[in-house]
Chain A
Amino acid sequence: MLTKRIIPCLDIKDGRTVKGINFVDLRDAGDPVELAKQYADIGADELVFLDISATLEARATTLDMVLRVAEQVNIPFTVGGGISSIKDVDALLQCGADKVSINSSAVKRPELVNELSDKFGSQCVVVAIDAKEIDGQWKVHLAGGSIPTEIDLFEWAKEVEKRGAGEILFTSMNHDGTKNGFANKALARLSEELNIPIIASGGAGNTQHFIDTFKEGKSDAALAASVFHFGEIPISNLKKELKENNIEVRL
C-alpha cells in the first residue's frame, strides 16, 4: 500500500536554513545539507526546500546547495521559491532536484503550469497554495502570504490540476505557526474534489495533529518545519505512533 509521507520543510535564505514563525520572524536552524542528510537517515520520506532569498546572487547559491543535496541525500526532494520560468526549472532539475514547487508565479500566469508539465512531466510540478479562511471563504494569498487575492482555494486547486499539476502543497495561513493542528476540513475537501496527491502544511504541533490530518484531513503527506528542526517531534517516534494508529507509513 502507498504510504503517507512525512516531509520536513527547510526554508533557505543565503544558503542557510531558516523558519518563519507566522511568515515573519526568522530563526536559524542549521546547515541545509547536513540537516537534509540527517532527515533522510532518521526516516523522512521527502524533503522540501523553500528558497526565500531575495537576490539573484543568493539564488545562484541555492543552485549550488541543490547540487550538494542531490549528491549526498538518497530520498526525493522538492525546491520552491521564486521559480517563474522553464529556464528556472531546468536549472534546478539539472542540479538534481526531483520536483519544483511554484506558487505566486502560477497565479500571475497560470499557463506556466501547462508549460512545465508539458516539458518536464506532471510528476515534478508541485503547485503550492497559501490560503486564508476569511468569513468562511478560503482565499488564495501571494508572495509568502502577504498579498490577498479574490481567488477561491478550491477553484484554483482544480484549475491547476487540469493544467497538469502533479501535486498540491496547501498551506493554511490561519494555522501556520500556531501549532494547533492542520486545516483538516479544507484538506479533506481538496482530497475529495481533486485526484492528485495533497500535502498538508501549516499547524503541526504534536503527533495527534499528524494522525488527524491523515485520517480526518485525508492528506497524502504532511509537511512541517519547526517541530522537526527543533526536535520537538522526532520523526522516527512520529512514524511509529502513526503506524500504531493504523496509518501506513514507511518504517
Chain B
Amino acid sequence: MKLVIINYGAGNIKSIQFAFKRLGINAVLSNDPDEILAADKIIFPGVGEASSAMAMLENSGLDKLIPKLKQPVLGICLGMQLLCESTEEGNTKGLGIFRTKVKRFTNDVKVPQMGWNVIKDLKSDLFSGIKDNEYMYLVHSYYAEHCNETIAKTDYGINYASALQHNNFYGVQFHPEKSSLAGAKILQNFLDL
C-alpha cells in the first residue's frame, strides 16, 4: 500500500501522517506529480484559508493533476471544500469534482463550528462499521450544501453535507485523524477501499 498525502503547504499534515502511522501505514508527504500518480491511495488535506490554498495548488500545477486522479482520493476539511465547485471563502473557484457549493455559516450559530458533532444518514463504504450519529471532530466556518453526492449529514444551524463522494473522490468535512477510534476506523476503511 503506497499512501501519499499531498503536501502543498496547507495545514497540519503531521496529524494525518501520525494517524496512519497508528494504523501501521507510512504515508509519504509529496507534491511531486509522479509520486502522487504512482500512489495507491491519496489524501488531499487542507487547513487554513481557501483562496490562498487554491493559489498554492495552482502554483504547483496540482490543480490540473488532482481532477485526473483515478485512485481513491480523500479530501479532508478544506481539502474537501476545494474539491467542490466554489467556496464563498475568498470567492474561490474550486476543482469542481463535487457538484455543490461551499457557503459560510450564518451568524445565528457561533462561527467557527468547533468541536464534536454527529454524522448521520451515512451512505458509503467509507463508513462501513460506523454507526449513525457517530461523533466526529469538526472545525470550520464554511459548509458544503447538499447535492446528490452527499454521503453524510450534520446539523449546525442548518443541515449540510459533512461528507461527499463522486466516483473515486471522497471528501469529509470532519477530521478523522482527530476523531478518536471512530475516526481511525474511517481512515482504515479508506485504506480498505
Contact = CB atoms under 8 A, between A and B. Distances in A.
A14 B48 CA distance: 31
A197 B15 contact: no
A123 B141 CA distance: 8
Nearest to A44: B180
Interface in B1-58: 12, 14-15, 18-19, 21-22, 47-49
Interface-centre pick from B15, B114, B175 (highest chain A CB count, 10 A): B114
Contacts of B15: 70, 96, 98
Contacts of B49: 118, 121
A11 B19 CA distance: 25
Interface stretch (A19-27, A71-79, A80-88, A202-210): A71-79
Contacts of A1: 117-118, 155
B9 to A, nearest CB: 11
A71 B114 contact: no
Contact of B179 (A74, A121, A197): A74
Contacts of B135: 3, 250
Given A71-B21, A96-B14, A123 B115 contact: no
Interface in A124-144: 124
Interface string B132-174: 0001010111000000000000011000000000000000000
A74 B22 contact: yes
A90 B117 CA distance: 28
Contacts of A45: 115-116
A94 interface: yes
Interface of B is mostly: mixed
B137 A76 contact: yes
Contacts of A71: 18, 21
Interface of A: 1-5, 40, 45-46, 67, 70-72, 74-76, 93-98, 118, 120-124, 166-167, 195-197, 220-221, 250
20 contacts: A2-B113, A2-B115, A2-B116, A2-B117, A3-B116, A4-B115, A40-B180, A45-B115, A71-B18, A74-B22, A74-B177, A74-B180, A74-B183, A75-B137, A96-B12, A121-B47, A121-B48, A123-B141, A166-B139, A195-B110
Given A72-B18, A75-B178, A93-B12, 19 more contacts: A1-B118, A2-B113, A2-B115, A3-B117, A3-B135, A40-B180, A45-B116, A70-B14, A74-B180, A76-B137, A98-B178, A122-B141, A123-B114, A123-B139, A123-B140, A166-B112, A196-B112, A221-B115, A250-B135
